[in-house]
Amino acid sequence: MGFLPVPSDDELSADARAAANRFGDDHPGPLNALDRALLNNVTVFESYVRWFDVKDELEALVGERAVTLFSLALSRAVPAPYPTAFFEGVLRDGGDDPVDPQVTEAESLLLAWGRAVGADPSRVAPELIARVEATFTTSTRAVLAGYAGLMFAVCIFSLVAQIDPETR
């Protein structure tokens, strides 16, 4: 077990079970290990699951695969094993090669920017920033930056909680 337990349904408090059910109404499917670890505190869970809302908005702007690739690049750069394994699995499940995916120009840019942001968000090369600015509108960049911040927070939580990447 890591720093935080990954509770089963039976181990959840009534409040946590209710929060999980509310979340499931909008996001059907089983909770993953990270979601379950977040349920050790309902306020923390409810704060972090807003990530899904921003992810959905970003997917509408740049595409689901681009968001997955961006998430993978950022989580690898942090490095955060649980989110990395999760997004590698999403790519594999979709028939992609997570090690060497064939990417569009925009996806390549998001991979580069995700790696840079994950490695050190205060030291992203000005040339890379200029490319992102030239490719995406201000509104899309705002969602990208917000999502990057939330993704970074998810990576840090998974590291602090010591979530095993094998529990995807």
What would the pLDDT profile of 46-55 be if each residue is shown by its tens digit?
Answer: 999 999 999 9
What's the predicted TM-score (pTM) here?
0.93
pLDDT band at 111 (very low <50, low <70, confident <90, very high): very high
Q: What is the pLDDT of residue 164?
A: 87
Handedness of CA 101, 62, 77, 37 (dihedral sign): negative
Task: Give the mean pLDDT of 24-37.
Answer: 92
Q: What is the mean pLDDT of the chain?
A: 95
Give the mean pLDDT of 114-121: 96
**What pLDDT score was predicted for residue 29?**
87
The pLDDT value recorded for residue 1 is 62
Q: Give yes or no for residue 64 having a pLDDT over 60.
A: yes
Q: Which two tokens stand for residue 60?
A: 């509408």
pLDDT at position 168 over 80: no
Q: What angle do CA 88, 102, 84 make, to 5 degrees?
A: 15
Selected residue with higher pLDDT from 26 and 127: 127
Q: How far is CA 31 from CA 19, 44, 57, 72, 119, in A?
A: 12, 15, 21, 19, 28
Q: For the chain, give the longest Cα–Cα distance.
A: 51
